[in-house]
Amino acid sequence: MADSNFRGPVNSMGALEVDAATAQVYPTDGPSISYQGSAMPDIRSAPFAKDGFLPGQQGGALIGNVVLVADNIPQARTSTQIAAAQVVTSAVNVALATVGVAGVASAGGIAVGVPIIPLGTTVATIAAIAIDFGFTTGSTVANSSTVHTINNQFFKAGQWIVIGNVGNAAATRSLVTQVQSTLSNGTGILISPVAGTTLINVGIGQGNLFGSDQLPPATQFGPAASSASAHSFAGMMQAGLAKVINPRETLCRNISVEGVTSTNYSAMVHGWDLWGAPMSELLTLTAQTTSAGKKAFKYLSHITSGTTSAVNASFGLGDTFGFPFRVDEYDHTQVTWNNVRQVNANGFTAAALTNPSNSTSGDVRGTVQVSTALLTGVLATSISAVATNGTGRLGMTQTFGTWNQVYGTPVDTIPMFGRAQTTATT
C-alpha cells in the first residue's frame, strides 16, 4: 500500500457513533494499531514537507511507549512445587508434579497438562506444568457447567478459556472450554465442555481463539464452528482487531533446585518462555543446599538429571520474575511488590547480551528479584525481604527504549524480545 501524508486529525469514533438512535458496539471496535508506536512532530519543523518521503525528514519524539506488563499475585514459592523430594539418577528425567491441586483465591498457581502451540509449530503440545497460571481463579464442580469465579466481569459469552487442572477426573489435565454465559450473581459463569473434577481456586487463562461467535454454525455453509486448542501466550486477549497482552497472565519466573548435599549435582530444565519459545537452563548445586536459576520460565516440559544425587533433591520456584519485553536499563522500569514501589536497582538484571544464549547465561529479556529468598553472597540484592506468599502483588511497567522500539522489526526482533532462547542440552 502507498504511503501518504494528510492534514488530519484522525478521529476514531468507534462505538460512539449512533445508528438509529442506538450506539452499536462491534467486535472489531478497539484500540488503534500503530506500527512502532506513535511520534509527536517537532513543532519547529514547519512547514511540513507533505509531498516528500525522505528518510528522517521530520523531527519528533516517540510517545505512548509505556506499557503495564505484569499485574497479578504470584503463587507462594515452595521447594517442591515442581518436583517432590527424590533421589534422581543421571540422564533420567525427574518425576514432576502431575496432579493439580487447589490454589489460593486471586493468586497464580500451578496448572498441569496445559496445551500450548510452541513458537514455530502449528500443532498443540502438552506442557507438563504452567507457572503462575491464569488471569483469575475459579472453583469447579465435577461434571457441572457452573464455575464460581472471583468476579465474572473478566468473562463474556463466547470467550474461550483454559481452566487449570480440571480437564479430567484425575486432575492431570487442564480444560479448554467456552463461556456460555455469565450469571447475574456477579461471580458465576457457565461453561461447555464441563469440568472433569472438583477443585477450588484453580487458575483460569485465556484460550487461543477469538471472535468464534462470528463464525457460522456448523450446519450452515462455510467453516464449521471452531474451538480453541491451546492457552494464549501472554494471555493475549481480544481488543478489537488486535489481541494484546493481559498483564494478569504474564508472570514467569525462575526455577530452583534444593537438597542437602556435600557433593556436586546438576540438572537441565527444559520448557518454554512466556511467548512459547523453547528454552533450557542448567541448574547446579556445588556443595551447597540451594541453587536458583536466572531464566524466567512460563511452561515446563521436563527436567533431566545431569548427575545422580547423593540424597533427595527437589525442584521449586524462585522469586525472580521475567519481563515480557527486552529491558536494557533499570530506569526503563517501574516495579511494585507487596504494595511497595521499588526505589533503586536492587534485584534488577538487564537483558543478557550473551550471543548466542547458553544454558547458564541470564534471561534474554531481563528480570527482577523481589525477595531475598534463595539469594546468597554479599552482592545479592532484591526489592525486599518479603518472599512470594500468595498475597503480595507484583506490578511491572516498562518504558520501551527509543532504540528498542524503532530498530525492532519483523526481520530483527532482538531489540524488542531479546536474543533467541537456548535449547542446549548441556
What amino acid is encoded at 123 in this protein? V
Q: Can the peptide bond before residue 356 be classed as cis, meaning omega within 30 degrees of 0?
A: yes
Q: Between residues 60 and 231, which one has the greater pLDDT?
A: 231
Q: Give yes or no for a contact between 415 and 351, defined as CB atoms under 8 angstroms apart.
A: no
Average pLDDT over residues 106-125: 96
Instruction: Give per-residue pLDDT as tens, 153-162.
Output: 999 999 999 9
Please say if the pLDDT value at position 218 is more than 80. no
Q: Give yes or no for a contact between 133 and 175, defined as CB atoms under 8 angstroms apart.
A: no
Q: How many residues does the chain have?
A: 426
CA distance 188 to 183: 5
Enter the DSSP assignment of 412. B
CA distance 363 to 354: 10
Please say if the pLDDT value at position 422 is more than 60. yes
CA distance 306 to 276: 25
Work out the burial of residue 113: count CB atoms within 10 Å of its CB; fewer than 13 is exposed, 13-18 middle, 19 or more buried: buried
Instruction: Give per-residue pLDDT as tens, 266-294.
Output: 999 999 999 999 999 999 988 778 889 99
Predicted local distance difference test score (pLDDT) of residue 366: 97
Instruction: Give per-residue pLDDT as tens, 364-416.
Output: 999 999 998 787 654 568 888 889 999 999 999 999 999 999 999 999 999 99
In Å, what is the CA distance from 154 to each residue of 135, 141, 150, 324, 329?
Answer: 9, 20, 9, 22, 33
Predicted local distance difference test score (pLDDT) of residue 274: 98
Q: Tell me the whole-structure pTM to 2 decimals.
A: 0.94
Least confidently predicted of 2-6, 59-63, 231-235: 2-6
Q: Give yes or no for a contact between 204 and 140, defined as CB atoms under 8 angstroms apart.
A: no
Predicted local distance difference test score (pLDDT) of residue 407: 94
Residue from 327, 331, 344 nearest 418 by CA: 327
For the chain, give the percent of residues with pLDDT over 70: 94
Q: Round to the nearest angstrom and report the end-to-end CA distance of the chain.
A: 48
What amino acid is encoded at 405 in this protein? Q
User: What residues pair up with 239 in beta bridges, in sequence order?
Assistant: 242
Helices (DSSP H) in 249-364: which residue ranges? none
Predicted local distance difference test score (pLDDT) of residue 179: 95
Instruction: Give per-residue pLDDT as tens, 316-338.
Output: 999 999 999 999 999 999 999 99
Predicted local distance difference test score (pLDDT) of residue 378: 46
Average pLDDT over residues 303-311: 87
In words, the CATH class of domain 133-246 is mainly beta
Residue from 308, 214, 205 nearest 265 by CA: 308
Please say if the pLDDT value at position 223 is more than 80. no
Predicted local distance difference test score (pLDDT) of residue 73: 98
Instruction: Give per-residue pLDDT as tens, 66-101.
Output: 999 999 999 999 999 999 999 988 999 999 999 999
Average pLDDT over residues 14-20: 80
Q: What does pLDDT average to over the chain?
A: 91
Enter the DSSP assignment of 230. S
What amino acid is encoded at 282 in this protein? L
Q: Give yes or no for a contact between 393 and 405, defined as CB atoms under 8 angstroms apart.
A: no
CA distance 377 to 382: 12
CA distance 51 to 53: 7
CA distance 225 to 273: 30
Q: How many CB atoms lie within 10 A of CB 62?
A: 15
> Residue 212: which pLDDT band, with cuts at 50, 70 and 90?
low
Predicted local distance difference test score (pLDDT) of residue 372: 85
In Å, what is the CA distance from 257 to each residue of 78, 94, 212, 304, 385?
Answer: 11, 11, 42, 12, 20
Which is it for the CA torsion 48, 51, 56, 60, positive or negative? Answer: positive
Residue from 335, 409, 324, 399 nearest 366 by CA: 324
Phi, psi of 330 (to 5 degrees): -60, -40
Query: Percent helix, strand, coil in the chain (nearest 5)?
Result: 5, 35, 60
The number of angstroms, rounded, from the C-alpha of 382 to the middle of its chain's C-alpha atoms is 22
Average pLDDT over residues 205-216: 79
